[in-house]
Amino acid sequence: MAMDPNPKSFPILSYVMARIPSLSPRPPPIEFDIEQPASPSSGHGSDPSSSSSRIVHDMPHLSDPKVLASMTTAISDVAQTRSMLKTLGERPDHEAVDTAKARLVDIEVNLSAKLQEIVLSSRPADVELLEWRAHLAEKENECRQAADEEKQVYKAIVHLDEMHEAYEKMLKEAEERLVKIYESAERGLPEEEPLDPVSEEVNEEVAKILQDANEKEMDRISLTGRRLRFLPEGFGHIRGLVVLDISSNQLQIIPDSISGLENLEELNASSNLLESLPDSIGLLQKLKLLNVSANKLHALPDTICHCRSLVELDVSFNSLTYLPTNIGLELVNLEKLAIQLNKIRSLPSSVCGMSSLRYLDAHFNELHGLPQAIGKLTKLEYLNLGSNFTDLTELPHTFGDLISLRELDLSNNQIHALPDTFGHLENLKKLNVEQNPLTVPPMEVVNKGPDAVRTFMSKRWLEILAEEDRKRTQEMDEQTQTGWLTRSTSWLKTYVSGVSETVSGIVGSPKSPRDPYLDQQL
């Protein structure tokens, strides 16, 4: 497929990726190997192993399992990105992209012209000023909404092209890394020693950086892309360090000594092989940004909750199945939480206590729902719950309390109805509910954009309130009527009882003369 690296441009990368089980394409009916496009002379009868044989013949160290294993580890970021792009689709051709960009410009020009026309339109004499302004605002909103709807498909094309462009750049960088690993193998490491991607040259460079940092009191250090398999303990003694970038290496652990970085504010350990984080990370009291995406984390230490200065936390592209129970109770300053592409089945209720949270990306997980108190996140502006597939079927009633929400992605789920309070999301500008079996609201409303959805749900909410009020009034009327009948019956019984006693007294008194009329009534 087009997302597989071209064997001519990336020979080593193509060879290695073809040997990763999860990335190897299923064999088509006709035998075909991605390293060996069928030649004109051979037609469809090419030997699929011949290309592999050629590259191994030219680069014999590729047959060494240790070299291949090291290379496989070095391209983990490429493998993950390729998997994501496989879901999004092939790269659009240049003509489609150019057409999309031109259409976006045309739509913007047409929108400006329409808005100018609306502003310059004259107010009829029989229409009051406030009413006319409301009319103009409604017309402007309709024009913008129509333009946004028209832009969506073209923006998607451009965005997909940009993602593939970044992927191409990533392929080039990955091929360069593999070449360096192969050159290290060519220099002749002893057979009994495992292949260490950290060359002597790199070790010397890291040692020099460490020495300079101690002598010059450096506050920023970048060790990205150096194929490091371990981080020297000495880095934990650089007290003045504020920013540390150790991304795109092969680190399997972060030493406990990192707790000595008492002034550290930013730590980027993305694209490594980390399976856990040290408990001592909770001692980084000034840490504001932590990026451990694209690792092999199965859980976060509970002590991460002690990093109370955190503003951004990115744990995407891992194997997390849950978040620490108290994460929301202590990370009250967190504004951005990225947990996409994990295996998280539920969010802890404490997440609702993240009063500063503005950005939450939880797509590509296994979420069964959201905490009932999710509406407490009143500063949340961006929420992505897409691609939780068959697991996410409904949203809580408090969803309508997310009053600051501007962008919402619910695509690729099993949601049948939006919550009745959805109409309260007055700031919602972007809504994606594609690939859901939605019945409320109906798709013809959804296709008109977020404003139409909000209007529909608001009317539905008012109808629900009116129906509840009608039922409540009916119940009160019934209770009032029942009470009146009860009181009337009681009064009548008392009255009749009194009359009877009086009559009895009159009839029974020997001194009382008999009244013919009374006798007739009795």
What pLDDT does 511 receive? 45
Written as one string, the DSSP assignment of 233-255 is GGGGG-TT--EEE--SS--S---
- Residue 312 bridge partners (DSSP): 289, 336
* Domains in the chain: boundaries: 1-15+54-194, 199-439
- For the chain, how many helices (H) and strands (E)? 11, 10
- Tell me how crowded residue 235 is: count the other CB atoms within 10 A of its CB: 23
Query: Are residues 403 and 426 in contact, defined by beta-carbon separation less than 8 angstroms?
Result: yes
What pLDDT is recorded for position 186?
75
- Burial bucket for residue 479 (CB in 10 Å: 0-12, 13-18, 19+): exposed
- In sequence order, what are the residues at sequence separation of 6 or more whose Cβ sits closer than 8 angstroms to the Cβ of residue 50? 36
8 Å CB contact between 386 and 361:
no
Residues 394, 414: contact at Cβ < 8 Å?
no
> How far apart, in whole angstroms, are the C-alpha atoms of residue 104 and residue 101?
5
pLDDT score for 243: 95
Three-class SS string for 154-176?
HHHHHHHHHHHHHHHHHHHHHHH
3-state helix, strand, coil split of the chain in percent (to 5) is 50, 5, 45
Amino acid letter at 141?
N
**What predicted TM-score, i.e. pTM, was given to this entire model?**
0.56
| pLDDT given for residue 17 in this prediction | 79
Q: Which residue reads 């240790």 in tokens?
A: 66
pLDDT 10s digit of each residue in the chain, 522 long?
Answer: 556 777 777 788 778 877 765 554 444 443 334 334 444 333 333 444 555 667 777 787 777 777 777 788 777 767 767 766 676 677 787 778 888 889 988 998 898 888 888 888 888 988 888 888 888 888 888 898 898 888 888 888 887 777 777 777 778 888 888 888 888 877 764 433 444 444 444 566 777 777 777 667 788 999 988 888 888 888 888 888 999 999 999 999 999 999 999 999 999 999 999 999 999 999 999 999 999 999 999 999 999 999 999 999 999 999 999 999 999 999 999 999 999 999 999 999 999 999 999 999 999 999 999 999 999 999 999 999 998 888 899 999 999 999 999 999 999 999 999 999 999 999 999 999 999 999 999 989 998 889 999 899 988 888 888 877 788 888 887 777 666 555 555 555 555 555 455 444 444 444 445 555 445 444
- One-character DSSP codes across 414-483: ---B--GGGGG-TT--EEE--SS---BS-HHHHTT-HHHHHHHHHHHHHHHHHHHHHHHHHHHHHHHHHH
Is residue 155 exposed (0-12), middle (13-18) or buried (19+ Cβ within 10 Å)? middle
Give, rounded to a whole angstrom, the gap between the first and last alpha carbons of the chain: 106
Is residue 418 within 8 A of residue 397, CB to CB? The reply is: no
Helix (H) or strand (E) holding 85: helix 76-88
Instruction: Please state whether the peptide bond connecting residue 40 to the residue before it is cis, i.e. omega within 30 degrees of 0.
Output: no
Strand order in the sheet with 407-409: 220-222, 243-245, 266-268, 289-291, 312-314, 336-338, 359-361, 382-384, 407-409, 430-432
Peptide bond preceding 197 in cis form (omega within 30 of 0): no
Place domain 199-439 in its CATH homologous superfamily. Ribonuclease Inhibitor (3.80.10.10)
3 state SS of 4: coil
Lookup: tokens for 168: 């191409």
